[in-house]
Amino acid sequence: MLTLYLTGGCLIWYIFPMFVTHLECCRCGQTYESEQVTNLCRCGSPLLVRYDLEKVKASITKDRLALRKPDLWRYRELLPVKESENIVSLGEGMTPVLHLRRLGAGLGLSNLYMKDEGLLPTGSFKARGAAVGVSRAGELGVEAVAMPTNGNAGGAWSAYCAKAGIKSIIVMPASAPEIHRKECAVAGAQLYLVDGLISDAGGIVARAVAQRGYYDVSTLKEPYRIEGKKTMGLEIAEQFSWQLPDVIVYPTGGGVGIIGIHKALKELQQIGWIGDKLPRLVAVQAEGCAPIVRAWQKKQAESEFWPDAKTVAFGLTVPKALGDFIVLRGLYETEGCGVAVSDEDIIEAVKTLAGEEGLFICPEGAATICAATQLANDGWLKPDETVLLLNTGCGLKYTDTLSVDAPVLKPGDDLPDL
């Protein structure tokens, strides 16, 4: 497969073979053929894409990678799409890593950074999973997908399915932000609202999949969304010049992002691009829905269903994640932790970051600031450590969570003194 890029005025040709070997159950280890449409393992657990990493190592170098177009698909050898013509792209990837100097100084953390995923197409990190998931679904001949969502994933998959010519059926809680409904509807998705949580939406989708044969692209119920999300980890390693942060703090609902980052870093270890030490992973949840944090506190292998889940960070409202045991495994393996934060602190953090750093981020991303504050105050984060926070969405999609009071002036009034 030959792909042409224009770099620095010169034409550079790249050959991009696919190195996928099989799919593997992350619980029992059962393997599956990768060229068939497959959802979960027979044991009910998620499947992960596996690669021939020795061949990957032999086919690409860091120097050659640096010449490539700065998007998600620069990591082609570690992605599962076979033919370049099947790639469905809206320009996703390579979001900035920003040094939070003022905020960090207030927390006593001189090396505090944020990776801002709110700049991606559709305004959230969900574009990564949709880009790879939809590309691979189309390559495998899928004609219609169905999914439950708290909002952002639905908007992303609706947009990418529209570009791919694939039908999308989206079910989301009626309490989801209105903008997410409009995103799905304007992209032509068949949108349904449920009077309940994402777990209730998931039940409706599961029945539709069984009855009508839609491809179930619920969180971790297909193996390719995680491959898109893992490009966050690949980018982080490259953006830090292959010297990883000491700590990565991630807002965790379904957990695909933190699982993907961990998977990416372990793959980079195996091809020899990074050292043995991985960042300590921190899973952040809201106090109103913190099943994974509670499981970590109890040193459990998986979480229990969280009743009456509710939080202003709507994307964190996942009462029981299918991949909770994989998230917890990552926390234990990296000597990380779980942190629960309050809605009040989340809203205050949105305002603080905007006022100090000029970044208007989503409530889920703001939860990482609250967690970093707790961990710095507790001494778990050291002043000289490099700490990376992940913002997963654009704050402009969540304006209904904020209230603004401003004085009204009459024509001819003078501005008061500051």
Span 300-339, pLDDT tens digits: 999 999 999 999 999 999 999 999 999 999 999 999 999 9
What confidence score (pLDDT) does residue 366 get? 98
Same domain, 255 and 350: yes
Rounded to an integer, the average pLDDT of 86-110 is 97
* CA atoms 255, 259, 260, 261: torsion sign: positive
The answer to whether residues 233 and 262 touch, using CB atoms and an 8 Å cutoff, is yes
Rounded to an integer, the average pLDDT of 216-236 is 97
Classify the phi-psi angles of 78: left when phi > 0, otherwise alpha if psi is within -120 to 50, otherwise beta: alpha
Same domain, 202 and 148: yes
Residue that is last in its domain, among 216, 240, 258 = 216
Residue 415: inside a domain, yes or no? no
Same domain, 195 and 243: no
Same domain, 163 and 210: yes
Q: Which pair of tokens denotes residue 12?
A: 């550079």
Same domain, 243 and 198: no
Range of the domain at 153: 126-216
The CATH number of residue 343's host domain is: 3.40.50.1100
Rounded to an integer, the average pLDDT of 363-387 is 98
What confidence score (pLDDT) does residue 16 get? 57
Residue 418: inside a domain, yes or no? no
Q: Give the model confidence (pLDDT) of 31-71 as tens digits.
A: 999 999 999 999 999 999 999 999 999 999 999 999 999 99
* CA atoms 76, 81, 83, 84: torsion sign: negative
Give the Å distances, CA to CA, from 166 to 88, 133, 137, 157: 11, 12, 9, 10
The three state secondary structure string of 77-133 is HHCCCCCHHHCCCCCCCCCCEEECHHHHHHHCCCEEEEEEHHHCHHHECHHHHHHHH
Residue that is last in its domain, among 162, 193, 216 = 216
Confidence category of residue 5, pLDDT binned at 50, 70, 90: very low
What confidence score (pLDDT) does residue 220 get? 96
Residue 377: inside a domain, yes or no? yes
**Block residue for tokens 């801002």:** 116
Total number of domains constituting the chain: 3
Same domain, 366 and 236: yes
Residue 417: inside a domain, yes or no? no
Rounded to an integer, the average pLDDT of 79-83 is 96
The answer to whether residues 117 and 390 touch, using CB atoms and an 8 Å cutoff, is yes
Residue 314: inside a domain, yes or no? yes
Same domain, 119 and 139: no
Contacts of 40 (CB under 8 A, 6+ apart): 46, 47, 221
Give the Å distances, CA to CA, from 157 to 121, 128, 167, 187, 343: 11, 10, 10, 9, 28
What confidence score (pLDDT) does residue 14 get? 44
Confidence category of residue 418, pLDDT binned at 50, 70, 90: confident
What confidence score (pLDDT) does residue 208 get? 94
Give the Å distances, CA to CA, from 45 to 64, 226, 265: 37, 14, 22
Same domain, 159 and 285: no
Same domain, 115 and 137: no
Same domain, 113 and 179: no
Confidence category of residue 403, pLDDT binned at 50, 70, 90: confident
Residue 410: inside a domain, yes or no? no
Q: Give the model confidence (pLDDT) of 130-175 as tens digits.
A: 999 999 999 999 999 999 999 999 999 999 999 999 999 999 999 9
Distance (Å, rounded) from C-alpha 387 to C-alpha 107? 12
Mean pLDDT of the chain: 95
Tell me which residue of 266, 224, 218, 48 sits closest to 128, measured CA to CA.
Answer: 224
Tell me which residue of 210, 79, 208, 221 sits closest to 157, measured CA to CA.
Answer: 221
Residue 341: inside a domain, yes or no? yes
The answer to whether residues 301 and 230 touch, using CB atoms and an 8 Å cutoff, is no
Residue 348: inside a domain, yes or no? yes
Least confident of 10-24, 47-61, 229-243, 254-268: 10-24
The answer to whether residues 137 and 145 touch, using CB atoms and an 8 Å cutoff, is yes
Rounded to an integer, the average pLDDT of 120-128 is 97
Amino acid at 400: D
Residue 262 reports pLDDT greater than 60: yes
Residue 10 reports pLDDT greater than 50: no
Same domain, 36 and 169: no
Same domain, 353 and 291: yes
Q: Give the model confidence (pLDDT) of 185-202 as tens digits.
A: 999 999 999 999 999 999
Residue that is last in its domain, among 86, 106, 137 = 86
Rounded to an integer, the average pLDDT of 227-249 is 98
